[in-house]
Amino acid sequence: MMWWGLLLLCVSGALGYYAQDEVLSLPGLKTKLNFRQWSGYLQASPGQHLHYWFVTSQRDPVNDPVVLWLNGGPGCSSLGGLLTENGPLHVKDNGRTLYTNEYSWNKVANVLYLESPAGVGFSYSDDQNYATNDIEVAESNYLALQDFFRKFPSLMSNDFYVTGESYGGVYVPSLSLKIANGPAKINLKGFAVGNGLSSTYFNDQSLVYFGYYHGLFGDTLWKNLNTYCCQGGYCNFVTNNNYYCRESVQQVFNRIYGIGLNDYSLYLNCAGGVKGKNSRFLADIKNLFQFYQFELPENAAAAQSSVPPCFNATAPFSWLNRADVRKALNIPDFVQTWELCSGVVSDNYQRIYNTMSDFYLQLLSKGYRALVYNGDTDMVCNFLGGNWFVKSLNQQKTLDYQPWIYNNQIAGFYERYGKLTFLTVKGAGHMVPMWAPARALKMFESFLANSAY
């Protein structure tokens, strides 16, 4: 054990760590860790304090990349990503104890989890005004990153990547471009988006095909969709003024989102059973079929919850809201109760970008690498829409669509367009690191190393 203690001592000096935020112990954790961690606040826009949890790499923390992880929503906490997806510590179902995640992304990188924007999780603003938008979030995250590197200056020269999922499809490229064009000397190398909302048009248009070819509609609805929404060999399911087309798309919407299917992972059961949707999901569907402004039937929108439907977040909620855990994470007493997703933030959020194509094109033109990956059973941000978005960027294909392998099994498929890769994870849903942890780590490691999948 002496050698490990000496190694940590050397690493602490090399990192120039920010001592007052360091987490030395956590309630419910009995395992001795081979990495270090910090939790505290980063200064974002004036009066805005974004909570961060930073874990060092288990491999080579001095030289390994620094990776930012952002969950989406908008309004959902990145601690959900840490404690249930790709973080090194997960909460057991009892909500009291922690266990180590064998497939944590800090196996190969230093990972920064940022709760953004203010009002999400333990993040807060002095005036408690949580109305914001895509542009303001990118600016706040950029300022918070600069504060992070002031606290950890020795990491400034490490390779840096921005990653995230879901509405992170907006957060990640918008922040990446701000870093690329900004004065801060952050060593950005690339970005990765998982099941991201990169284009509202492609996401909605593709969902109709996804639903039909996954057996969710009958022939009558499919015939109506083709009759009323299609002309001259082209179908418009997204912005069609035909009354009967709208009525048909409404049936699609209700079938996929309103009857109790697990929208985030089609072939998994819905936690709690078929009980209708909840208020958190009603916030999420503001991202979907915006032209029609559909509303779910009353019987599908009764439950009040900050948690996405069919997802059980009781364990992290219980653990994070313990007084001793908050104290260990350096959370002030006046900060709000932690929720997986904030209704206040989502209700007051202004969506500005309907497509992220300009951001991708600018970043690719500057030489940054990009990974767009999708679990292929997700219906909120489906893989087909992600693929269509990537193809719409009109980059030259350098590697044709082909399988990638993990543990002597087909893990999914991928194709390359120069520095841009599109990749699917077979059988995984919206939260790929949750439902395919080993393959997600392999994918992540390959991306960082710019090696074959």
Q: Where in the sequence numbering do the catalytic residues fall?
A: 166, 378, 430
Find the angle CA(192)-CA(195)-CA(198) to the nearest 5 degrees.
75
How far is Cα 158 from Cα 168, in angstroms, rounded to an integer? Answer: 23
Give the DSSP H or E segment for 89: strand 89-91
Give the DSSP H or E segment for 76: none
Q: How many CA atoms lie within 13 A of 63 on its CB side?
A: 2
Nearest by Cα to 89 from 34, 151, 159: 34
Residue 431 DSSP one-character state: S
User: What are the φ and ψ backbone dihedral angles of 167, each rounded to 5 degrees?
Assistant: -70, -5
Q: In the numeric block, which tokens belong to residue 248?
A: 């048909």
How far is Cα 273 from Cα 312, in angstroms, rounded to an integer? Answer: 11
Nearest by Cα to 26 from 353, 283, 382, 324: 324
**Residue 47: partners with Cβ closer than 8 Å, 6 or more residues away:** 125, 126, 127
Residue 426: how many other CB atoms lie within 10 Å: 18
